[in-house]
Structure 1
Amino acid sequence: MIIKAVNGRFAGACHDSHVWNLSSERQDLQTNYVNGEIGIRILSDSGYPLEPWLLTLYRNAAENSAENYYIIKFSKARPHIERVFGVLKALFRCLLAARELHYAPEKVVQILNVCCTLHNICTPFNEESRANIAIEVEKVDVSYTETIGNANETNIAKRLRDQIKNSMSTL
């Protein structure tokens, strides 16, 4: 339930994948990977590029296949992040889509950062009162992906994802 990175510089004008590609978090993960730190992985939906440090879902997986089993297990992580968003928006109603912050974009980014910081401060102390907050799972647009990195990184990422899938199917 802790928010580790926030990037509100692009508002809703850019696809999440584009924001990710420009983020310092992605650059740090890539640098760490190139320097031999290969054990860190982030789960992402298929709207993002597959990279050795960013694992995505398989597309068009056959029913009852190992790929489909991977997707089912992988998808169980998504409600956790959606819950974080739901809790954040419930605590700070100004972040709801139906409401608008009538400030300059720079001020809106500051408000977002403060809301996320306060959320992180409150989280250890308010867990029980947050248990009943309803969340709304956002429909993800998977039609957009940017190709970033090189073909070798993509091939490495595919092998890593396949290794994880294969290890899951033997459990």
Structure 2
Amino acid sequence: MDFILESSSENEEDEQNRVQRVRRRRPRTFRPRINFNFITIFEFNQRFRLTSLKLEELVNIIGAPLQHETGRNHALSSRQQIQVALHWFGTGCQYHAIGDMHGLSKATVHRCIKNVTSAINRRLTRNIIRWPRNLFSVIRKFHQIAELPMVIGVVDGILINIDAPTVDEEGFVDRYGDHSINVMGVCGPDYNFYYINSNWPGSVHDGRVLRNSGLYRSMEAGWRPIANGYIIGDSAYPLKNWLITPVVVYPNDNAQNAFLIRHRQTRRVIEQAFGILKEKCPCLNRLRVKPFFAANIIRCCAAICNFSRDLDEDLPINEANLYAAHRENGENVNYDNNDDVDVGGRQRLQEIINHFRH
């Protein structure tokens, strides 16, 4: 009797398993995808921060690794994924809002942003955030701003706010009490970025960010984009023969005063470049992602900002791991830059000051 009951139970289980196997899976519901191809040039640029021609060029550069191997489940094309990511870069709104605009789920929007950011940083960033080959044109344009000779770039830092991270939270608290990433950039007179470093949390001082950057190591090792060219920066940075800061040598000297005025006028370029970057990519007003992903997005946005313009051929800085992201639980240290001044820096500064003696 027990054997009969056991066999009956096994038969019922087999029947249930068979019914489950043949039962049809509930069909997925796909929302209609919005077609953004038939809008005006202004509206297209307003949404995606690029013209339609630039978008097609970007698709040709990074589209291959984004292409799905199958079209099952209404897989997005490379162009659609790039449009979703660019739309988010240009608005910075919530994922579900972008999903409603494009007829996608929130998870799909996140995957698009993550994949496009990675593709741009692999295939575009290192090729477009570089020193231009025609640095004589850069020097001439900088000279037209405030008559400073041989300037090849301007360096400064900006704090990009992020949500409080779950790891090393206190290290990301900046001097304003917000959680942020300290981004260092070097730009030219046309507001193109020549170098971007987004590897450090907001608590780290600008001078420390520079000292731990690939740019600093390359310059200290003797690399120069052009002979006798130099970068200018504010007093947060040390005075070097390749980095001129507003160190007061002769406070009552007219030439010194003229230098300080022209230095300040030229240094505004990097502040304007950062303003253009945040206007081009409003997502940078506050990034609600983890710090490592935020650092990648910042580099990606800088590359998009450069890509939206026509650039010359570029000359790269030959160094390894230039864009490697680091996590540092740093402190807001105030450096005494006068103690870090080398003799060559003082001599170079005096030469520039003498340029304004008449």
Report the TM-score, using the length of structure 1 for normalisation: 0.75
CA deviation vs aligned residue, 1:72-129 (integer Å, no higher than 9, x gap) = 1111112211111110001111112xxx31211110011001100000011349xxxx
- Tell me what 2:217 maps to: 27
| Cross-structure match for 2:301 | 115
Q: Is the 8 A contact 1:17 1:146 kept in 2?
A: no
Instruction: Provide the residue aligned with 1:6 in structure 2.
Output: 196
CA distance in 2, matches of 1:61, 1:95: 40
Q: What is residue 347 of structure 2 aligned with on the other side?
A: 159
State the match for 2:231 in structure 1. 42
Q: Output the aligned Cα RMSD.
A: 2.7
1:57 aligns with 2:243: no
Aligned to 1:105: 291
Deviation at residue 61 of structure 1 after TM alignment: 5.2
The answer to which structure, 1 or 2, has the higher relative contact order (CA under 8 A, 6+ apart) is: 1
Give the structure 2 partner of residue 84 of structure 1.
273
Give the structure with higher Rg (CA): 2
> Share of identical aligned residues, percent?
23
Distance 1:124 1:86 in 2: 19
Following TM superposition, by how much is the alpha carbon of 1:169 offset from its aligned partner in structure 2, in angstroms?
2.0
Structure-2 separation of matches of 1:2 and 1:52: 23
1:14-58 deviation per Cα after TM superposition (whole angstroms, max 9, x unaligned):
11110000000011111126x9x7513110111111111111112
Residues 86, 61 of structure 1: CA spacing in aligned structure 2 closer, same or farther, 3 A cutoff?
farther
- CA separation in 2, counterparts of 1:77 and 1:154? 23
Contact 1:69 1:169 in 2 (8 A): no
Give the drift of 1:62: 2.8
Amino acid at match of 1:169: R
Give 1:65 shift: 2.4
SS at match of 1:8: strand
Aligned to 2:114: none
Moved more, 61-70 or 73-82: 61-70
Matches of 1:60 and 1:163, distance apart in 2: 12
Return the alpha-carbon distance in structure 1 between the equivalents of residues 248 and 284 of structure 2: 32
Q: What letter matches 2:206 in structure 1?
A: D
1:64, distance to aligned residue in structure 2 (A)? 5.5
Q: 1:89 & 1:24 partners in 2: Cα distance?
A: 24
Q: AA paired with 1:159? A: Q
The size of the alignment, in residue pairs, is 146
- Asked if the contact 1:57/1:71 (under 8 Å) is kept, the reply is yes
Q: Distance in 2 between matches of 1:91 and 1:63?
A: 42
1:136 matched to which residue of 2?
none
Please tell me whether the aligned partners of residues 58 and 67 of structure 1 are also in contact (alpha carbons under 8 angstroms).
no
List gaps (5 residues or longer) in structure 1: 126-142
Contact kept in structure 1, 2:235 and 2:337, CA below 8 Å: no
Aligned to 1:69: 258
Is contact 1:88–1:116 with CA below 8 Å preserved after alignment? yes
1:10–1:19: 8 Å Cα contact kept in structure 2?
yes
Residue 6 of structure 1 aligns to a residue whose secondary structure is strand
